[in-house]
Amino acid sequence: MTRNESKDSIQKRIEELREQIRYHNYRYYALDDPVISDAEYDALFRELVRLEEAHPELASPDSPTQRVGFAPLDQFEPFDHPVPMLSLENAMNREEMLEFDRRVTKLLGVSEPIAYTAEPKMDGLAVEILYEEGRLLRAGTRGDGYRGEDVTPNVKTIRAIPWRLFSPADGPPIPQRLTVRGEVYMDRKAFEALNREREEAGEPLFANPRNAAAGSLRQLDSAITARRPLKAFFYGIGLLEGVSFETQWDLLQGLRKWGLPVNPLSERCLGIERVLAYYERIEEQRPSLPYEVDGVVVKVDRLEWQRILGEKTRSPRWAIAYKFAPHQARTRIVDIQVQVGRTGVLTPVAHLEPVTVGGVTIRRATLHNLDEIERKDVRIGDEVIVQRAGDVIPEVVRPIREKRTGKERPFRMVAECPSCHGPVVRLEGEVVHRCLNKSCPAQVKAAIRHFASRDAMDIDGLGQKIISMLVDEGLVKNPADLYRLTEEDLLKLPGFAEKSAANLIRAIRESRRPELADFINALGIQLVGTHLASVLAEHFKTFEAFRRAGREELTAIEGVGDKVADSIVRYFQNEENRKMVDALLAAGVTPRDVEAAPTESAPSFWRDKTVVFTGTLASMSRKEAADRVKALGARVASSVSAKTDVVVAGENPGSKLERARTLKVRIMDEDEFLRSLPEGT
Ligand X SMILES: NC(=O)c1ccc[n+]([C@@H]2O[C@H](COP(=O)([O-])OP(=O)(O)OC[C@H]3O[C@@H](n4cnc5c(N)ncnc54)[C@H](O)[C@@H]3O)[C@@H](O)[C@H]2O)c1
Angle at 506 between CA 504 and CA 510, to 5 degrees: 120
Residue 501 labelled as part of a binding site: no
Q: Using alpha carbons, list the distances in angstroms from residue 191 to 67, 243, 456.
A: 30, 37, 18
What is the distance between the alpha carbons of residues 402 and 375, in angstroms, rounded to a whole number?
Answer: 17
User: Hey, CA dihedral for 329, 322, 297, 34, is it positive or negative?
Assistant: negative
Report DSSP letters for 402-432, one per residue.
Answer: GG--S--EE----SB-TTT--BEE--TT-SS
Closest to Zn ion by CB, 323 or 342: 342
* Helices 38-54 + 3-25 axis angle, to 10: 140
Whether residue 639 contacts residue 600, with contact meaning beta carbons closer than 8 Å, is answered with no
Q: Which does 408 bind (CB under 5 to 8 A by kind): ligand X, Zn ion, none?
A: none
Select from 57-65, 310-318, 393-401, 435-443 the region that touches Zn ion (CB under 5 A): 435-443
Closest to ligand X by CB, 183 or 518: 183
Residue 211 engages Zn ion in binding (rule: CB under 5 A): no
Closest to Zn ion by CB, 417 or 462: 417
Residue 511 engages ligand X in binding (rule: CB under 6 A): no
Q: Which does 458 bind (CB under 5 to 8 A by kind): Zn ion, ligand X, none?
A: none
Residue 122 engages ligand X in binding (rule: CB under 6 A): yes
What is the distance between the alpha carbons of residues 529 and 581, in angstroms, rounded to a whole number?
Answer: 18
Whether residue 346 contacts residue 432, with contact meaning beta carbons closer than 8 Å, is answered with yes
Instruction: Measure the CA dihedral 321/325/326/328, to 10°.
Output: 170
Site string (205-234) toward ligand X, x via CB under 6 A: ------------------------------
Residue 230 labelled as part of a binding site: no
Residue 133's closest CA among 161, 157, 155, 165? 165
In the set 321, 545, 636, 637, which binds ligand X (CB under 6 A)? 321
Binding residues among 52-111 for ligand X as defined by CB under 6 A: 68-69, 87-88, 90
Q: Give kind and range of the element (H or E) at residue 259.
A: none
Whether residue 197 contacts residue 209, with contact meaning beta carbons closer than 8 Å, is answered with no
Whether residue 338 contacts residue 443, with contact meaning beta carbons closer than 8 Å, is answered with no
Whether residue 37 contacts residue 397, with contact meaning beta carbons closer than 8 Å, is answered with yes
Nearest distance, CB of residue 430 and Zn ion, angstroms: 17
Residue 269 labelled as part of a binding site: no
Residue 438's closest CA among 420, 457, 465? 420
Nearest distance, CB of residue 541 and ligand X, angstroms: 39
Q: Which does 211 bind (CB under 5 to 8 A by kind): Zn ion, ligand X, none?
A: none
Residue 583 labelled as part of a binding site: no
Residue 299 labelled as part of a binding site: yes
The answer to whether residue 121 is catalytic is: yes
What is the distance between the alpha carbons of residues 32 and 218, in angstroms, rounded to a whole number?
Answer: 9
Give the amino acid at 661.
R
What is the distance between the alpha carbons of residues 644 and 630, in angstroms, rounded to a whole number?
Answer: 15
Whether residue 532 contacts residue 560, with contact meaning beta carbons closer than 8 Å, is answered with yes
Residue 338 engages ligand X in binding (rule: CB under 6 A): no
Residues that bind ligand X (rule: CB under 6 A) add up to a total of 25
Backbone φ, ψ for residue 549 (5° rounding): -60, 140
User: Hey, CA dihedral for 537, 543, 544, 547, is it positive or negative?
Assistant: positive
Nearest distance, CB of residue 123 and ligand X, angstroms: 7
In the set 14, 34, 342, 516, which binds ligand X (CB under 6 A)? 34
Binding residues among 229-268 for ligand X as defined by CB under 6 A: 235-236
Alpha helices (runs of H) in 288-424, residue ranges in sequence order: 303-309, 370-376
Whether residue 449 contacts residue 464, with contact meaning beta carbons closer than 8 Å, is answered with yes
Residue 41 labelled as part of a binding site: yes
Site string (296-315) toward ligand X, x via CB under 6 A: -x------------------
Binding residues among 270-299 for ligand X as defined by CB under 6 A: 297
Nearest distance, CB of residue 179 and ligand X, angstroms: 14
Nearest distance, CB of residue 42 and ligand X, angstroms: 5
Nearest distance, CB of residue 136 and ligand X, angstroms: 19
Whether residue 516 contacts residue 594, with contact meaning beta carbons closer than 8 Å, is answered with yes
Site string (404-433) toward Zn ion, x via CB under 5 A: -------------x-xx-x-----------
Residue 446 labelled as part of a binding site: no
Residue 405's closest CA among 382, 384, 389? 382
Q: Which does 419 bind (CB under 5 to 8 A by kind): ligand X, Zn ion, none?
A: Zn ion
Q: Which does 417 bind (CB under 5 to 8 A by kind): Zn ion, ligand X, none?
A: Zn ion
Closest to ligand X by CB, 30 or 668: 30
Backbone φ, ψ for residue 32 (5° rounding): 55, 35
In the set 14, 18, 38, 385, which binds ligand X (CB under 6 A)? 38
Select from 37-45, 431-439, 495-503, 652-660 the region that touches ligand X (CB under 6 A): 37-45
Site string (141-180) toward ligand X, x via CB under 6 A: -x--------------------------------------
Q: Which does 326 bind (CB under 5 to 8 A by kind): ligand X, Zn ion, none?
A: none
Residue 552 labelled as part of a binding site: no
What DSSP character marks residue 30?
A: I
Whether residue 168 contacts residue 674, with contact meaning beta carbons closer than 8 Å, is answered with no
Nearest distance, CB of residue 65 and ligand X, angstroms: 11
What is the distance between the alpha carbons of residues 338 and 347, in angstroms, rounded to a whole number?
Answer: 5
Whether residue 591 contacts residue 533, with contact meaning beta carbons closer than 8 Å, is answered with no
Whether residue 197 contacts residue 206, with contact meaning beta carbons closer than 8 Å, is answered with no
Whether residue 569 contacts residue 550, with contact meaning beta carbons closer than 8 Å, is answered with yes
Residue 446 engages Zn ion in binding (rule: CB under 5 A): no
Of 7, 12, 106, 121, which residue is the catalytic one? 121
What is the distance between the alpha carbons of residues 28 and 122, in angstroms, rounded to a whole number?
Answer: 16
Residue 185 labelled as part of a binding site: no
Whether residue 126 contacts residue 195, with contact meaning beta carbons closer than 8 Å, is answered with no
Nearest distance, CB of residue 279 and ligand X, angstroms: 13
Residue 440 engages Zn ion in binding (rule: CB under 5 A): yes
Nearest distance, CB of residue 632 and ligand X, angstroms: 35
Q: Give kind and range of the element (H or E) at residue 431.
A: none
Binding residues among 179-198 for ligand X as defined by CB under 6 A: 183
What is the distance between the alpha carbons of residues 485 and 505, in angstroms, rounded to a whole number?
Answer: 7
Nearest distance, CB of residue 472 and Zn ion, angstroms: 14
Annotated binding site: 38-42, 87-88, 119, 142, 183, 299, 323, 417, 420, 435, 440
Site residues, ligand X (CB under 6 A): 24-25, 27-28, 34, 36-38, 41-42, 68-69, 87-88, 90, 119, 121-122, 126, 142, 183, 235-236, 297, 321
Annotated binding site for Zn(2+): 417, 420, 435, 440
Annotated binding site for NAD(+): 38-42, 87-88, 119, 142, 183, 299, 323
**Which residues are part of the catalytic machinery?**
121
Site residues, Zn ion (CB under 5 A): 417, 419-420, 422, 435, 437, 440
